[in-house]
Amino acid sequence: MSFNFIEIEKIKELVESFYKLDLTNKTRKREYVYARKVFYKICIDNGYTYASVGESIGFDHCSALHNYKSFHVVDEKDAKIYQKCRDILNMTNDDDYEYVMSNKQTIKNVKNEYRVKELEKENKTLRSKIESFEDAMPIIDEFYGWDASDRYDFIEYRLKPYAKLIH
C-alpha cells in the first residue's frame, strides 16, 4: 500500500515521535543515523524520490540513496521501529489518515493502540504458558511433599539424565 498522499513532513513527525529526536540534526551519532535510515526507507518505499526525501530533512539525494540501500545494517530495535511505523501507516484508512497525522495526540493514541495490540498478543502467549504450568502444579506439589533425599535422587538420577537426552 502506498501512502504518497501523506506529506513527507507527517512521516518525519511520526519517526521523530518514536525516536524523540530531530532528523534534521546533521550529527553522525548512531541513533540519528539509524533514525534517518528508517525515515528514508519508509518514504522511499512509499514512492517519494531520493531528492525529495533528502531535501525534506536537509540532506541531498546521495544521502537518501546511501541510507536507503544500507538500511539492512540497522539494529534490531530500529528495524522494529520501522515495522511499527509501517504498521501505523497501515492501521489507519485513507479517510482518517490525514487527521491522524495532523494531530500529535492522535499519533500518540495510534501508537498506544499498537502497543496494546502487542501486549494483548504477549498476554495470550503468557496465559497459554501459565495454563500448561498449572497442569504440572499437582506434580510439583507432590514432589515437594517428598523428603530431601528422595528429591535429590529423583533430580540426579532421573531429571538430569533426561535433560541430557533432550538437549
Distance CA 68, CA 49 (A): 11
CA 65 to chain centre: 24
Instruction: Provide the 3-class DSSP secondary structure of residue 111.
Output: helix
The rounded distance, in Å, linking the Cα atoms of 62 and 15 is 21
pLDDT in tens, 95-147: 555 555 555 555 667 667 777 888 888 888 888 877 777 777 777 778 888 88
DSSP letters of 66-106?
HHHHTGGGS-HHHHHHHHHHHHHHHHS-HHHHHHHHH-HHH
Q: Are residues 18 and 96 in the same domain?
A: yes
What are 48-64's pLDDT values in tens digits? 999 999 999 999 999 99
Taking the C-alpha atoms of residue 152 and residue 60, their distance in angstroms, rounded to an integer, is 69
What CATH number does the domain containing 18 carry? 1.10.1750.10
Number of domains composing the chain? 2
pTM above 0.75, yes or no: no
Q: Which three cell numbers mark 47? A: 514512492
| Of 22 and 90, the one with more pLDDT | 22
- pLDDT at position 129 is 79
Q: b/e map of 46-64 (b: 16 or more CB within 10 Å)?
A: bebebeebbebbebeeebb
- Which pLDDT value is given to residue 1? 40
For residue 51, the model assigns a pLDDT of 94
In-domain check, residue 144: yes
In this structure, are 91 and 158 located in the same domain?
A: no
Give the model's pLDDT for residue 58.
Answer: 93
Domain ranges, residue 151: 134-166
In a domain, 127, yes or no: no
CA distance 40 to 36: 6
39, 97: one domain: yes
Residues 79, 13 share a domain: yes
pLDDT at 20 over 80: yes
